[in-house]
Structure 1
């Protein structure tokens, strides 16, 4: 196994994992260890590697041949059976980071920032060091408050057992670069207690993005663990259609309380969306469309769709309406597709290049009819207009797919395994490690 021989585990999060042929198979998501009685350092059992599509699998540490800052290389084959954590196993990043422990030298509290593992002569890997941050207490006179330092594993107590009110800053920092959908998958795997702690530690925007990627029951669960003011702030940060879908799952009294606490300008479109039945164009649409008046120029339109925070489907076209340009708008004049914008001079007016050939959708149109319309005309989004010609919103293809797929499709993606059979070698490795601990 190549240097470095001491590896800080939080720094492994997201590192690419390669097979013997040099092909990348996934990324490191966590490290599995077996905690031991007394002060003996935990034994490392293996890595949790996320492979596509968002499936965690187990890679025994004995198969890992190279660990470097930018890659992990293993030999043999990677069993694609879904990783299932066992009672005697602990996930370092998910469960040990941010834990409050005590230094044995003076019984002062410190917070776990990272832990390090090292190989032994017998080819085992053990967790030997703990990086901690001083938070104050009786030992604070000798070390400054907030100071980061490294101690031996046996110099601290409190690593085992359930901690109530555990922080989540370290876990969040370890996966800071992940896309919302990937972090949602990791949060989905956490126990409810830990999931709640992580949700509380995330900022409103990040939590809003992650909620949109979680199954509905977990969205409701997380929102229920937040105080009402925080829950309303998170709903403010969500896309109106996603916020409406989530609120639609709540009891009427709770839904109305949260709507009242939301910012009025954020709550108004959500209230409008809640009026429409699920499975209709009105129930599928969002009000976050690019809407411009007829005297706007092509240059202005291009500036709007360049917004990196705009969903790609919504950035594919601009809707031209008479004022007001907030839904429900003035009279809808037509749609300008972004490819047409690229072909026109910047000074041209959008009103002169609108596509008026396609009739807009009505809010009562069924899900199947909306899907057929988008497929027939090769569109990624379409305008929804009422009988008076006012633009109400837009339906994008991703929202249609969300509703066409089975209700539990997110759980299926997160939980399905390519092969449910047991890998004998992996089973033997894990049982051997546990048996050695029981014998001691």
Structure 2
């Protein structure tokens, strides 16, 4: 693996980070550059890598032995797992520069930043060197020309940025899981975070909102405006929408529910009526439900639907008509492992299990947790006093409501688990192809360069 002397940073986003033995330790999410008091281009001091459990740490550029658009390799030493925090004289290249509106010298042509290159100079110092700028075209039918120019020939790269577009940053974030994208949004300044959130389509934003702390959800929802907020709430699972609306004052809840389509608002209204901490308040009202005369093949087809979460798709609930909650009389459930073992033409009524009592709407969360753990279940049915299925509590619902209220908040998570250094394995006896990264001190300890 050779290391080029010029690397466009957007191409590093999402690239895997490996230790010397080839084991993956995280993925690149950004690059950190230090501003200088003169007009010289900022010095690149390191990368921001995302580790398991969404922890973001700092990797000093001088401790990286190889990097390109395929992989980043670390040298032997000690990896500091303290959460990365940006210093006042630093900038995050992707988060802060992509989509920034700038002007090109000497003619002052307006444009938008689409990528930034860093380059290694003699002595091993990496600096931001080139900027890819797409000029703004007055024509709606074609895109402007793309220019690659020296950093010094672009005005407006530092300092306060006006409201700007989001297309290039969204392209970098496109392949992230909703939980990882939610984590990335928490790293952005409030205004920029709201701009990026607003640029997501309704379905994608609904998934991301469900992974954010409650106070951030409310801030983003408020910035969207009521009409757009109602559209996004319609795309959320009813239980997630109810949880979010519970963070708003009752008058605002009513306004947003009235703006939603009645079919989407009705299950959310019902969930809002339940007492907090009960099965009714944490359940999903849209589990997989089929009649007893449905076949095993039909049930397998239903749980294959891509929009279903793994916990919801793990079992089929069987009930009399109607098939929407509240259903007719609840009969039992069938786990997907059982479905895989039965002939496709068999009827669900012949394989249904009903030896575990369903939950009631008022069953408290500790009792739900105990029962799910006792029977090794990933979901349990919830019925009303007339034995009609009204929903199901899934294991992710239980975890979400059992963890501390602020468990999704990055700052709170850091307070709970500020890990210390860990030793990386010794490098293999063979040399890395292409040799060490220019400027990387051989045998030095891998530290965070003072970040934390």
Same fold (TM over 0.5): yes
Q: Report the Cα distance in structure 2 between the residues aligned to 1:53 and 1:229, rounded to whole angstroms.
A: 34
Question: Does structure 2 conserve the Cα–Cα contact (< 8 Å) formed by 1:82 and 1:420?
Answer: no
Aligned counterpart, 2:170: 172
Shift of residue 413, structure 1, vs aligned partner: 3.7
Structure 2 SS opposite 1:193 = helix
Cα separation, 2, equivalents of 1:379 and 1:102? 59
1:49 aligns with 2:49: yes
After superposition, residues 4-403 of structure 1 pair within 5 angstroms as 4-37=4-37, 39-75=39-75, 76-136=77-137, 145-403=143-401
- Asked whether the equivalents of residues 286 and 325 of structure 2 are also in contact (C-alpha less than 8 Å), the reply is no
Displacement of 1:147 in angstroms is 2.6
Query: What do residues 166-197 of structure 1 show as CA deviations (whole Å, max 9, x unaligned)?
Result: 22222221121111111111111222122111
TM-score normalised to the size of structure 2?
Answer: 0.89
- Secondary structure, counterpart of 1:121 in structure 2: coil
Question: How far is the alpha carbon of 1:54 from its aligned partner?
Answer: 1.3
* Structure that is richer in helix per residue: 1
1: distance between equivalents of 2:421 and 2:350?
59
**CA distance, structure 2, for counterparts of residue 342 and residue 2 of structure 1:** 48
Name structure 2 gaps, 5 residues minimum.
Answer: 423-444
Distance 1:231 1:130 in 2: 36
> How far 1:161 moved relative to its partner?
1.6
SS in structure 2 opposite 1:410?
coil
SS in structure 2 of the partner of residue 333 of structure 1: strand
Sort the Cα spacing of 1:231 and 1:274 in 2 relative to 1 into closer, same or farther, 3 A: same
Whose relative contact order is higher, 1 or 2, with alpha carbons under 8 Å and at least 6 apart?
2
The one-character-per-residue Cα deviations of 1:277-334 (angstroms, maximum 9, x if unpaired) are: 1100000111121011222111100000011221111111111111111111112111
In the alignment of these two chains, the number of paired residues is 424
Deviation at 1:67, TM superposition (A): 1.1
Report Cα offsets for 1:197-229 as digits up to 9, x if no partner.
111111111111111111111111111111111
Distance 1:48 1:397, change over 3 A: same
Pairwise CA distance, 1:61:
1.0
Q: Which blocks of at least 5 consecutive residues in structure 1 are unaligned?
A: 431-440
Post-superposition shift, 1:247?
0.2
Deviation of 1:264 (Å):
1.5
* 1:53 match: secondary structure: helix
Change in CA separation of 1:43 and 1:328 when aligned onto 2, cut-off 3 Å: same
Shift in Å at residue 414 of structure 1? Answer: 5.9
Deviation at 1:37, TM superposition (A): 4.8
Cα deviation, residue 105, structure 1: 2.3
Quote how far apart the aligned CAs of 1:368 are.
Answer: 0.8
Secondary structure of 2:84 counterpart:
coil
**Aligned with residue 409 of structure 1, among 407, 410, 426:** 407
Aligned Cα RMSD in Å? 2.1
TM-score between both structures, scaled by the size of structure 1: 0.92
Distance 2:341 2:286 in 1: 25
Q: Aligned-pair distance for 1:39? A: 4.0
Deviation, 1:359, is 1.5
Please state whether the residue corresponding to 2:228 is helix, strand or coil. Answer: helix
Q: Alpha-carbon deviations, 1:29-77, whole Å to 9, x = none? A: 1000023356421110111111122111111111122112211112232
Alpha carbons 1:39, 1:153 under 8 Å: kept: no
